[in-house]
Structure 1
Amino acid sequence: MTPSFSICVYCGSRPGERPEFVQVAQAVGRWIGERGGQLVYGGGRTGLMGTVAEATRSAGGRVVGVIPKALVDKELANRQSDELHVVDTMHERKAMMGERADAFLALPGGIGTLEELFEIWTWRQLGYHDKPVGILNAGGYYDALLGFLAHSVREGFMGEWQMDLVRSDNDAPALLEALVEEAGRHPRGDKLAEVL
């Protein structure tokens, strides 16, 4: 069965300190699965990564994991994925995740999540793709980051047009719906394979 859409989710390999982070990861996975979608993610079984993957699979969605060899044991590679791709480098991982997705969503996470979010946002700014990017501000997790980004615009290091390339919301279903709808207006073909 061909999925109706494909969303790449960036999120923590840890569960975080608040139960609501796990709950939102479950809600995102269920939403994807119940609508016949596909999750593309970092391929681990731990933390929010494992939670969103299991929720997607349990709700009937497809799960595509992409993990570098160096993290297979550390993040406990999810062998229950419909597809599990073990790659050599982080660059390969991110390029494959980008190619396989129609849209991108950041849930709470640490330095890896932030790095992936900023890279895919930068790639959109540079014209390597025109796929929607979203930040799910669950429990206000990204309040400080969003405040800093607004500060960066005020200080003249970013433009409002760059901020317009990413959506943020604290309502998971509303944000997911908007990302999927916007993805449907853009062709799947892009230049992500040329980035590396």
Structure 2
Amino acid sequence: MSRLRRICVYCGSSSGNDLAHREAAHDLGAFLARNGIGLVYGGGHVGLMGALADGALSQNGEVIGVIPHALMAKELGHGGVTDLRVVGSMHERKQLMVDLSDGFIALPGGFGTLDELFETLTWLQLSFHDKPVGILNVGGFFDGLIEFIAQMSRDGFLKQEHAECVLVEQDAAKLLARMEAFRPPELGKWIEAMVAGARR
């Protein structure tokens, strides 16, 4: 049985210009449901969010949406999900999504998607959680970001073991397998190395 009972997926509230992104979102939702994994996501019915949720629902999967009041008031909430949680702020939304999930996957999106992805990675780096974080690199969408993460590591702003925490695949099954096998780096060693560097 998978230790990943629920996976949070971050993705755009827009569909983007490439139909492949919407298809990938729908396919990921369906894939998770077929594997008995619940979906946690931003609660919307539009864009990649809506396609993702619809994909999971098409396979009778559990779908938990988390949406702030302000977006619910604009009628952006998905009325067909298993459980739609309405919260007061974006901060509450992100915290609840993390609390409900055993792992995280980013699909194509904009600022909001990157904000969620990097906050989740930062919390992993600081051992505020120990859950796997993956990127489903649909059509090379994240190639530039992946290179930038490597640049941060080369330039000494990101430890290699933390750069390696970003699990990247183009295939959902391969990504899920890597997430299942993920073991987080030890925070203690990172802090010791940082203190030693400050003393030099």
TM-score for the superposition, normalised by structure 1: 0.88
1:182 alignment partner in structure 2: 181
1:146 alignment partner in structure 2: 146
**Contact 1:13–1:75, Cα closer than 8 Å, also in 2:** no
Q: Percent same amino acid among aligned pairs?
A: 47
| 1:7-38 per-position Cα deviation (integer Å, ceiling 9, x unaligned) | 00000000111111011111101111111210
2:83 alignment partner in structure 1: 83
1:123 alignment partner in structure 2: 123
Give me the whole-angstrom Cα distance separating, in 2, the residues matched to 1:122 and 1:4.
20
**Structure 1 residue 165: Cα displacement:** 1.6
Structure 1: which amino acid aligns with 2:154? R
Give me the whole-angstrom Cα distance separating, in 1, the residues matched to 2:110 and 2:176.
21
| 1:134-181 per-position Cα deviation (integer Å, ceiling 9, x unaligned) | 0111000000111111111111111111112220111122112322x2
Which 5+ residue runs of structure 2 have no aligned equivalent? Answer: 185-200
SS in 1 for 2:127: coil
1:40 alignment partner in structure 2: 40
Q: 1:152 to 1:63 in 2, by over 3 A?
A: same
Give me the whole-angstrom Cα distance separating, in 2, the residues matched to 1:5 and 1:27.
18
Counterpart mapping for 1:162-181 below 5 A: 162-179=162-179, 181=180
1:191 alignment partner in structure 2: none
1:18 alignment partner in structure 2: 18
**Contact 1:24–1:172, Cα closer than 8 Å, also in 2:** no
**Contact 1:136–1:170, Cα closer than 8 Å, also in 2:** yes
Give me the whole-angstrom Cα distance separating, in 2, the residues matched to 1:137 and 1:154.
22
2:29 alignment partner in structure 1: 29
Structure 2: which amino acid aligns with 1:48? L
Structure 1: which amino acid aligns with 2:137? N
- Indicate yes or no: 2:178 matched with 1:157: no
- Number of aligned residues: 182
**Structure 1 residue 75: Cα displacement:** 6.3
Give me the whole-angstrom Cα distance separating, in 1, the residues matched to 2:73 and 2:142.
29
2:109 alignment partner in structure 1: 109
1:52 alignment partner in structure 2: 52
Structure 1: which amino acid aligns with 2:175? L
